[in-house]
Amino acid sequence: MTTHRTSKRRLAIGSAVAVAALLTTAGCGGGDDKEKKGSGPGYNAAVGKIANPSEKKGGTLKFIGTQDADSWDPQRGYYGFVWDYARFYTRQLITYKPAPGEGSQELVPDMATATAKISEGGKRYEYTLRDGLKWQDGKPITSKDIKYGIERIWAQDVLSGGPIYLKEVLDPKGEYKGPYKDKDPEKLGLKAIETPNDKTIVFKLPKPNGDFEQMLAMPAASPVPKDKDTGSRYGQKPFSSGPYQWVSYESNKSMVLTRNPHWKKSSDPVRKALPDKVTLTLITNSDEMDKRLIKGNYDVDLNATGVGQAGRVEALRKHKGNIDNPLTGFIRYAVFPQTVEPFNNIECRKAVIYGADKKSLQTARGGPQGGGDIATNMLPPVVKGSDPKYDPYGALENNGGPDTAKAKEALKKCGKPNGFETTIAVRNNKPVEVATAESLQASLSKIGIKANIAPYDGSQTPGIIGNPKVVKSKNYGIIIMGWGPDFPTGQGFSMPLVHSKYILNNGNNNYSMLNDPKIDAKFTEAEAELDENKAAEIYTEMNKMVSEKAVYLPFVFEKNIIWRSSRLTNVYTAHAYNGRYDYSALGVVK
């Protein structure tokens, strides 16, 4: 009893402090967007446009971060910042256009001379490689190197962790066992990829997939030279096909890249490669990182998770001209596992959706700037086919406040007119998510729903909330999470969240256990569609079907407050990189 009272009191005090701090930030953040404070070119100067455009070469671009990569191996990295940063030392057949905002979502040729020649009804993709492509040792990059690099995805027993889209699309039955078990002397036994000569590469898909080129734009499709492949340790020092090569790396500590002398601008229309050197320093104290950025010791936060609470106040008050506030592409949301009672009843789910105070949830996330815009549905604005105006549960009505009448009506229909008791599962290493859970708990208590907050070890997410048995046994009726697109289509965002094939015993992301053949069919239909606009329309319909299931309560379309050093040139945020700066375009003034 004492413990309970103490924890409630702590919760109340904690909430009050958090809300006060967030309100302070919200207050600081208001005002004229054109306001220019500090030495930077202006607030949001790099959102939707290029700040400090320049072609000047030289200097050292200095990154700082608090989190190291999951892996710097191009086939193993899955963190968003790794995909952005990896383009310093990797190249792909195609990549995203070096342009601000939405423009970055267009695919353009990188090592290939043009985007794919698609034939056989979308089942054959052919690329021709540019002239002058070189590894860091001066050897030519061939189509075989690209094939070998992609084949490494199949070796999940050695190289786990990265995206496996290409494996699923090219070899859905898993017939190929990866290059390390390949009996072919060249280790190029994957039948779905052909390399008739060093300059040509052909992909043969068992069935069409309109997003195939999106998958090829991932670093997972980077070439790797067979004779330099060190297996699971390749991420300690990848061999460079890009404009920079690795000089040194100490995990969780530092990295230095210098120019790859064999990379030629004439062979690479995408990367500007302005700095002579790129350095990365990794520390553990995020407040200290913000201070060093504001002091000017560093240029960019590698992780781009946003300036922390302490630094945010100072940054917005004194250095607003150095701040950008882009959409990240992430949705922060609550999801209701249908295996946990009473969330097997759609009306009970609707009661929570209507009863939630979205404005309060937005504030808990950091307000309109630190948190983002109130989300109306489960397809973020950066994904083709999204429609933020589609608001099936009236999230924007009543200024984001709860619809108590509808919530109570839904409770009656679900047979729990006086409410019910449930558990909110939240990662214990994400203070903002804990604050969100407290906000949700407070608003639900007003309609009689008693939600107990259950923080769990965030580093074990795949084995806890990713395990449906654990979810059911712990009675997690509401799970708080976030999700961003792997690539900006419905397949790249929604599929792992709502497709039945993603219901897994471990590492499950379809937490709601949504298993609807009609929704699955929409993905099949969209994948077969080669016209991206028509595919987008299908995903719009899919999103409506998901919304009608009422298994998600979206909080915000996330925005971040990110720091832009005054030294940076050629800076812009890119939708293709979750609102981070396009790292390969950056330069420095000295």
Which residues of this chain interact with another protein, rule CB under 8 A? Answer: 68, 70-71, 76, 78, 155-158, 160-165, 178, 180-181, 231-233, 235-236, 250-254, 283-285, 288-289, 291-292, 295, 297, 429, 457, 459-460, 462-464, 466-467, 470, 473, 496, 504, 506-509
**How far is it, in rounded angstroms, from Cα 489 to Cα 543?**
12
**How far is it, in rounded angstroms, from Cα 566 to Cα 319?**
10
Cβ proximity to another protein: between 79 and 581 the closer is 79
Cβ proximity to another protein: between 252 and 418 the closer is 252
Q: Minimal distance in Å, beta carbon 572 to another protein? A: 27
What is the pairing mode between strands 587-588 and 372-374? unpaired
Question: For residues 169 and 180, is the Cβ–Cβ distance under 8 A?
Answer: no
Question: For residues 198 and 142, is the Cβ–Cβ distance under 8 A?
Answer: yes
CA max distance for the chain: 74
Q: Minimal distance in Å, beta carbon 487 to another protein? A: 13
Hey, is 247 helix, strand or coil? strand
H/E stretch holding 537 reads: helix 532-549
Cβ proximity to another protein: between 70 and 409 the closer is 70
Cβ proximity to another protein: between 233 and 590 the closer is 233
Q: Minimal distance in Å, beta carbon 240 to another protein? A: 19
Cβ proximity to another protein: between 154 and 263 the closer is 154
Please say whether the dihedral angle defined by the alpha carbons of residues 65, 66, 72 and 77, taken in this order, is positive or negative. Answer: negative
**How far is it, in rounded angstroms, from Cα 63 to Cα 45?**
20
Burial class, 308, CB count within 10 angstroms (exposed 0-12 / middle 13-18 / buried 19+): buried
Hey, is 104 helix, strand or coil? helix
> Residue type at 582?
D
Q: Minimal distance in Å, beta carbon 97 to another protein? A: 25
Cβ proximity to another protein: between 4 and 295 the closer is 295
Q: Minimal distance in Å, beta carbon 167 to another protein? A: 9
Cβ proximity to another protein: between 234 and 354 the closer is 234
Q: For Cα atoms 295, 259, 143, give the angle at the middle one, nearest 5 degrees.
A: 130
Q: Minimal distance in Å, beta carbon 230 to another protein? A: 9
Cβ proximity to another protein: between 31 and 507 the closer is 507
**How far is it, in rounded angstroms, from Cα 196 to Cα 192?**
13
Hey, is 288 helix, strand or coil? helix
Question: Rg for the chain (alpha carbons), in Å?
Answer: 24
Both tokens of residue 55? Answer: 């072609």
**How far is it, in rounded angstroms, from Cα 472 to Cα 423?**
11
Q: Minimal distance in Å, beta carbon 285 to another protein? A: 5
Q: Minimal distance in Å, beta carbon 126 to another protein? A: 27
Cβ proximity to another protein: between 394 and 496 the closer is 496
Both tokens of residue 336? Answer: 């209701």
Q: Minimal distance in Å, beta carbon 281 to another protein? A: 8
**How far is it, in rounded angstroms, from Cα 42 to Cα 531?**
38
298: Cβ–Cβ under 8 A, 6 or more apart, which residues? 62, 63, 64, 281, 289, 292, 565
**Residue 61 pairs with which residues in a beta bridge?**
278
Q: Minimal distance in Å, beta carbon 310 to another protein? A: 10
Q: Minimal distance in Å, beta carbon 475 to another protein? A: 14
Cβ proximity to another protein: between 297 and 418 the closer is 297
Cβ proximity to another protein: between 162 and 477 the closer is 162
